[in-house]
Amino acid sequence: MNLDFFETGLCFYCHLAKNELREHQEFHGKTEEAWRDADSKIQDRIDNLIKQHPDAKEADIVESYAWDLHLHQSKYPEIHRNSLVISLYIFLEQQLNGLCETISESLGTKVVLRDMTGRGVERSLLFLKKVACFDFRELPQLAFIYGFNRLRNVLVHADGQLPDNVEDKVNKLVSAAQGLRGEPGGYVRLDPEFIDYSIQRLIEFFDGLDSQVQDFMQRTQQFAAVDAAEPRD
């Protein structure tokens, strides 16, 4: 049995995932700052034009920049935030798939991820529970993970329109999560704070996973030691 957890990367797998999430957060911050800077420059341009042309109607000057203001205040940030939620979920799915594959490699087991039922994050979590014996009671962040998945589905499959049922779990996420807005049956709106909030929840999730990975490695080492000590015929 291969127990070189350093060679397979298992011992630092979650640490690397958290670093990548922080890079996503830095990208998000710089992008949001770019929209704010662009909007500020347009506002300054409008103010200067109003000062230079006191006889002109202020509303006409503002109206001439209405589309530019809309792009930088609303459209571009909305595209960025919605896309980032989808990208973060893809990242999560890829990382969980990779974790399962790394565990299989570390154990040298014939049981692999594709042997599990389901797909995506749910299949990976089933593998971690059944094969690696992760204790999901120690992962309270799973509630957010499932809610994040539902939000991603709303953005991808419903163009951001929320279900009519107020009791739907994605509507409950919207009402509870920082930086989410929207009424049942309406369209969800993501404020920049939601991206930071989501990344922090994902980092906490990988913190919890890392604890489970450490427990898994310890159990596996102990089992290997006992197995090696048993007499052979």
pLDDT tens profile 30-48: 999 999 999 999 999 999 9
CB burial readout 12-32, b (16+ within 10 A) else e: ebbeebbeebeebbeebeebb
pTM: 0.89
Tell me if 206 is assigned to some domain.
yes
User: Mean pLDDT, to the nearest integer, of 173-188?
Assistant: 94
% residues pLDDT > 70 (the chain): 94
Cα–Cα distance measured from residue 111 to residue 131, given in angstroms and rounded to the nearest whole number = 8
Instruction: Provide the number of structural domains found in the chain.
Output: 1
Tell me if 226 is assigned to some domain.
no
3 state DSSP class of 19 = helix
Tell me if 126 is assigned to some domain.
yes
Question: Residue 76: what residue type?
Answer: Y
**Residues spanned by the domain of 24:** 5-33+81-221
Cα–Cα distance measured from residue 166 to residue 60, given in angstroms and rounded to the nearest whole number = 42
Tell me if 228 is assigned to some domain.
no
Tell me if 125 is assigned to some domain.
yes
